[in-house]
């Protein structure tokens, strides 16, 4: 009984253990199922994934708009940058423009070399060859000496078939001053007709002389001389003309001086100045022709860098005369050109360097300052340079020419005058007024466009031509 009870208890224990063991695996299954919440948590986002994707798509759409805008901006920037890349050379070119003066300075010798190698026309070469052996010595020479060489050259008659019937200078001068002479003679004759020389007549005569631009000082001298010997008498027009010619000659004789060149100073620098339209470039060409024909070597500098026609015109004169021409680009610094031209003339052994300048109004301060700069830079080569400063005056400007001389004399140190276009006005007497006030040497006068229409100034010839009197 007891054994049976024990077995029963043991069996019950085993069953209990089996039940417990049976229950134990259930725990692991629960543990394995425990990740279910994780899976559940995992599945929950999986279910919510479409919503998240939609949100991400919405975000991507909204993000795509800025991206597109950014892309478009990038493309625009690229489009802008591409021209900018092309614009870089342009910027470099524009940067080089301010450096143009330096480039021009360096480039000046190039045109100079080309100008020096200009072919001399056969006729001019023959003339220069004939005149070359003439020696003027080591001192100063005048244009008169050079003209004597030209006239005595046997080549001149052969080269100019019309030289036998060539019009004399005095005849050309009278023709050029005919308008001034005719108006002056007619006016004087009008007040002397059937009238004795009284105070009223003398006053009328003085007014006529002043109107003819002879100047107050000269007009008073003429009327005083006329009244002192013939007052109260009948006076003819011829007698008045004779007195006028004599008094005008007295005023002009102190200033009628030949241009002198010191060929011991090579080169002798001539700077030509004046306002617009006074004939500077033409005067330079005519002067160069006379000098080269006299056997001197001449170099021209195209310092009027503001006018292309002036540069071309000077090159034409260079070809005609066989003179070397130094030039640069339009708008170049004139002072730099003058500086380099002196060096070229020195190296070439030129006897004379003639420098053209831009026409400028005497009331333009900045332009007059540029002229002063040219004078300064030439002084760096030679303290005495420029040796001659010629001012060209247009006779048609009348009284304005008096003011021009005042300004240019102070700025550029004018020491010689050239009066041009006397054939284009009836007031050629302005030269007398200028001589009386400024007392500057008058080297040349011009009465036409040809080379022969520019000649050394003679007081007697001018006085006779403008008054129509030949008995002085």
Measure CA 330 to chain center. Answer: 7
Q: Is 13 annotated as a binding residue?
A: no
The backbone torsions φ and ψ at residue 387, rounded to the nearest 5 degrees and listed phi first, read -75, -35
Known binding residue 275? Answer is yes
Helix (H) / strand (E) containing 416: strand 416-420
Q: Is 359 annotated as a binding residue?
A: yes
- Ligand-binding annotation for 281, yes or no, is yes
Asked whether residue 189 is marked as a ligand-binding residue, the answer is no
State the pairing for strand pair 260-262/352-355. unpaired
Residue 421's region, left for phi above 0, alpha for psi from -120 to 50, else beta, is left
Q: Binding residue per annotation — 431?
A: no
**Sheet of strand 268-273: strand arrangement:** 324-326, 298-301, 352-355, 268-273, 388-394, 416-420, 442-446, 454-456
The answer to the question of whether 277 is labelled as a binding residue is: yes
Is 423 annotated to bind ligand? yes
CA–CA separation, 459 and 442 (whole Å): 9
472 is annotated as contributing to ligand binding: no
Half-sphere exposure of 153 (CA within 13 A, CB side): 28
On whether 171 is known to bind a ligand per the annotation, the reply is no
Answer yes or no: are the C-beta atoms of 147 and 456 closer than 8 Å: yes
Residue reference for tokens 């200033």:
255
Residue 398 is assigned to a ligand binding site: no
Quote the CA–CA distance of 268 and 263 in Å, as a whole number: 6
Is residue 421 marked as binding? yes
- Two tokens, residue 344: 């070229």
Tokens of 459: 């007081």
Token pair listed for 230: 């013939």
List of residues 6+ apart from 201 with CB closer than 8 A: 191, 192, 195
Instruction: Using alpha carbons, list the distances in angstroms from residue 439 to 164, 245, 369, 436.
Output: 38, 18, 25, 6
279 annotated ligand binder? yes
DSSP track, 378-399: HHHH-TT-SSEEEEEEEGGGTT
Distance CA 302, CA 320 (A): 15
Give the span between the Cα atoms of 403 and 258, in whole angstroms.
24
State yes or no: 202 annotated in a binding site: no
278 is in an annotated binding site: yes
| Residue ranges of the binding site | 274-281, 356-360, 420-423
Output the known binding site for GTP.
Answer: 274-281, 356-360, 420-423
């Amino acid at each position: 009984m007891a054994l049976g009870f024990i077995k029963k208890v043991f069996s019950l224990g085993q069953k209990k253990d089996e039940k417990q063991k049976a229950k134990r695996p259930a725990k692991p299954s629960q543990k394995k199922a425990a990740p279910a919440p994780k899976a559940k948590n995992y599945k929950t986002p999986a279910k919510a994934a479409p919503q998240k994707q939609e949100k991400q798509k919405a975000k991507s759409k909204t993000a795509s708009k800025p991206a597109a805008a950014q892309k478009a901006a990038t493309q625009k920037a690229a489009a802008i940058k591409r021209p900018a890349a092309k614009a870089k050379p342009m910027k470099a070119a524009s940067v080089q423009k301010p450096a143009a003066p330096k480039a021009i300075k360096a480039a000046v010798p190039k045109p100079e070399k080309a100008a020096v190698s200009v072919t001399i026309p056969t006729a001019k070469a023959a003339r220069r060859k004939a005149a070359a052996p003439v020696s003027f010595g080591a001192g100063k020479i005048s244009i008169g000496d050079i003209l004597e060489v030209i006239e005595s050259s046997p080549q001149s008659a052969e080269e100019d078939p019309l030289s036998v019937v060539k019009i004399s200078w005095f005849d050309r001068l009278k023709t050029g001053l005919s308008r001034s002479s005719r108006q002056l003679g007619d006016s004087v004759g009008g007040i002397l007709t059937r009238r004795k020389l009284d105070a009223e007549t003398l006053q009328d005569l003085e007014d006529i002389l002043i109107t003819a631009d002879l100047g107050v000082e000269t007009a008073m001298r003429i009327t005083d001389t006329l009244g002192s010997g013939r007052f109260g008498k009948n006076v003819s027009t011829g007698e008045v003309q004779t007195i006028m010619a004599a008094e005008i000659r007295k005023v002009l004789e102190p200033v009628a001086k030949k241009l002198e060149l010191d060929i011991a100073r090579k080169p002798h620098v001539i700077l030509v100045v004046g306002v617009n339209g006074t004939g500077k470039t033409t005067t330079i060409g005519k002067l160069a022709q006379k000098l080269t024909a006299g056997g001197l070597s001449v170099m021209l500098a195209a310092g009027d860098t503001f006018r292309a026609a002036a540069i071309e015109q000077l090159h034409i004169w260079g070809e005609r005369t066989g003179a070397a021409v130094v030039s640069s680009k339009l708008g170049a610094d004139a002072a730099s050109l003058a500086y380099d031209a002196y060096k070229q003339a020195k190296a070439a052994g030129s006897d004379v360097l003639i420098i053209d300048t831009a026409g400028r109004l005497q009331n333009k301060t900045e332009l007059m300052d540029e002229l002063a700069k040219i004078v300064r830079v030439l002084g760096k080569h030679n303290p005495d340079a420029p040796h001659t400063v010629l001012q060209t005056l247009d006779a048609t400007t009348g009284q304005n020419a008096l003011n021009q001389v005042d300004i240019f004399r102070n700025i550029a140190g004018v020491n010689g005058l050239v009066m041009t276009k006397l054939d284009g006005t009836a007031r050629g007497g302005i030269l007398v007024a200028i001589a009386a006030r400024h007392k500057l040497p008058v080297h040349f006068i011009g009465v036409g466009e040809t080379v022969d229409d520019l000649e050394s100034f003679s007081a007697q010839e001018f006085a006779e031509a403008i008054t129509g009197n030949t008995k002085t």
